[in-house]
A and B are shown apart, each in its own frame.
Chain A
Amino acid sequence: MKNPVHILETELPLPRVRIRELDLEGGPLCASFGSPGARLIESIREVGVLNPPLVAGRPEGGFAVVCGFKRLRALLSLGEESCACRDLAPLALSPLELLRTALLENLAVRELCPVEKAMALARLVKVAGMDETLKSYMPTLGLPARRDTLNAYLALEGAEFETKDAISRGGLSFKAFQSALDLSKDERGQVLAFLAGLKYSFNNQLQVIELLKDISEDNGMSIADVLDTPEIGSLLGDGSLNQPQKSSRILDHLRTLRSPAISRAEKDFERMVAACGLPKGVRIDHPPYFEGADLRMEIRFRSGPELVDTLSSLSGNRGVSALGMPWEVDEP
């Protein structure tokens, strides 16, 4: 492997390259996804391209972009036709050396998004093989050297544009994508589009996927059928709910479908506590998932006399004295 420092020490040609003749969306060295971003476009408009993109002249003519895809896209969006690029051809770098150069240059100035990591890994696997990519390049990208992780990134590289776009924009987590990998391609696309549309937090995305899988397994339904149930349809179409309310109600609905007994116990408990008519500032909670044995009471008060009043009111409260776990208590 040639030392990358040589690139700086060598006088390399700086031809003016016609941007439209370059492949800016793919190609064997591309690890760049998405639009260049307003800040980069603004900077280039103001002061131009300070660091020329790197290209490699092909023996058959034309150039392959090594790095600088975003700069070139920014120039295109500004209506520029050509750009001075540093041509690495005289160095006669191998495809792997070119990829490595592109990767290191990119990593030096920014964090690659998961889609870009997937692009880089897919290209590295082609030229360096699975084992070498696992051993040498996963750590370079800040990833664990695990085959299942690498396979998930390779699957992302093959995913549909909408999924990649949602991940690159931060609307969908890579973990959610990974968690949906065992679904069929159609189901995966449907679930991920559903999640991205409802703007769930990354944690909730994982929860929704797990719930959908569990409900589908428990009831022998496809995930598409679960998503097509009238309840979800009516929540999605409910004009009185804003988007966060819809997301939250759908998550609650899925939890109830998945765990009807737990949901029932939670509702029963809420009803029992509400029926107690607790004094102001007092709340009673059950242990998480009712797994522990202890209920918990919280009293907020501003003075000793107020606390004494509250305690005295609680001590005579027949609802409180009858409280217990919902399955142990006969409701009046």
Chain B
Amino acid sequence: MTDSWVRRVLVEDGLQSTRIARRVSGLFPHCETMPSGGGAGEAAAADPPRGMDKETLTLMRFRGEFLKPCPGTGEGYICCGYQILNIGTNCPLDCAYCILQAYINQPSLRVFANLTEALPEVAERIDSDPSRIWRIGTGEFTDSLALDPVIGWHETLLPFFSSRPNAVLELKTKTDHVKALVESPHRDRIIVSWSLNSPWIASREEHRAPSLERRLKAASLCQREGFVVGFHFDPLFLHPGWREGYRRTVDLLDQYIRPEGVIWISMGAMRYMPSLKPIIRSRHRGSSVLRGEFVPGLDGKLRYFKPIRMELYGALREMLLSWNPDPGLYLCMERPEVWSASMGWSPGTGAGLSDFLDNRVRKVFSSL
């Protein structure tokens, strides 16, 4: 359980009465109060947070806009027009390849305790553009469900999004923390999605994450309980026996998941900012995730050499199509020619991909 990882809880002064802080202090009676504007490890800000302090939970005020477009990536790569609801940063899981290791410049699990109080503002944004389908996720800067048993995001987010006529909320996770979800009465406009990989990568590189089988059992439960589900094969790796490995994961999908309830499946090959490399080397000695032929992309990130990416996507696409003829398959942050070569078509632009995914939403949530 995630709450057994948390050793220390800090609450920013002035937030004690928020819904999230009240819930957490019920679970952790020895919460410490932190001066407003401060943070765990603030003094060490000049140094990279190698430890990331995944045992301290900091409830703090988020001072920016909660709803923001996904940063995506630079020119030349097709992004999907996703929106991020910023519920916190850092994650109790410890995947060797995690980009957050380089993004996050402050340690500790940071949860924005003023989220509930900020939701009316989010509603206003969404409602102000009723013709648009807002695809919103919370799993960009943290795992959507890893801390849910402690924070209880489901209590506010599920009813909030279920009642929005033009938005869907995607909860992306590697965990099996779905008990509270399936006990909730809210289903509509909610997508629960799992990050999947080959068993080889899942067992060696996705530290603290449940096995693929546990993830898919949780997905199966959600599906049986009426949730729409999605999957993300991201990041994909070229590792020894990768073809057979990904085949085994697709076999597991076949074993646990009904294809017709899947809204989309994304694929993205390993990519990383150069600054992540020394961090992975120092935090995850012996990790295999940096192996292979990486080249600098047009956005400055390192990616597998293009024909390697095409081969990875093409092979996995075939496997997935043999399981599910209509999986809503798309590539994350890829070039148009990679789309064409590996998928047989290309949305051409971010707007094209956005339309494709919006149509998937309309198809699966027929009331939209």
Chain A contacts to B: CB under 8 angstroms: 134, 144-148, 182, 213-214, 217-218, 258-262, 265, 288-293, 325, 327-328
Closest 8 CB pairs of A and B: A289-B295, A327-B307, A259-B293, A147-B47, A293-B337, A218-B291, A262-B305, A261-B293
Q: How far is the CB of A323 from chain B (nearest CB, A)?
A: 15
Q: How far is the CB of A246 from chain B (nearest CB, A)?
A: 25
Contact A182 B336 (CB under 8 A): no
Once the chains are docked, how many angstroms separate the CA of A291 from the CA of B297? 6
Give the interface centre of A147, A260, A291, A293 by most chain B CB atoms within 10 Å: A291
Chain B contacts to A: CB under 8 angstroms: 44, 46-48, 76, 278, 281-282, 290-293, 295-298, 303, 305-308, 310, 335-337, 341
Residues of B within 8 A of A182 (CB): 278, 281-282
Residues of B within 8 A of A328 (CB): 341
Once the chains are docked, how many angstroms separate the CA of A327 from the CA of B296? 19
Residues of B within 8 A of A288 (CB): 296
Residues of B within 8 A of A262 (CB): 293, 295, 305
Q: How far is the CB of A188 from chain B (nearest CB, A)?
A: 14
Residues of B within 8 A of A289 (CB): 295-296, 305
Once the chains are docked, how many angstroms separate the CA of A148 from the CA of B282? 12
Known: A261-B308, A293-B336, A327-B307. A146 touches B293 (CB 8 A): no
Contact B308 A291 (CB under 8 A): no
DSSP class of A's interface residues: helix, strand, loop or mixed?
A: helix
Once the chains are docked, how many angstroms separate the CA of A218 from the CA of B287? 10
Nearest B residue to A290, CB-CB: B306
Nearest A residue to B44, CB-CB: A147
Known: A265-B307, A327-B307. A258 touches B293 (CB 8 A): yes
A-B contact pairs, 26 of them (CB 8 A): A144-B46, A147-B44, A148-B48, A182-B278, A182-B281, A214-B290, A214-B291, A217-B290, A218-B291, A218-B292, A261-B307, A261-B308, A262-B293, A262-B305, A265-B305, A288-B296, A289-B305, A290-B306, A291-B295, A291-B296, A291-B306, A291-B335, A292-B298, A293-B336, A327-B310, A328-B341
Known: A182-B281, A214-B290, A289-B296. A147 touches B76 (CB 8 A): no
Once the chains are docked, how many angstroms separate the CA of A134 from the CA of B293? 38
Residues of B within 8 A of A290 (CB): 295, 305-307
Nearest A residue to B48, CB-CB: A148
Contact A147 B46 (CB under 8 A): yes
Residues of B within 8 A of A260 (CB): 293
Once the chains are docked, how many angstroms separate the CA of A325 from the CA of B291? 24
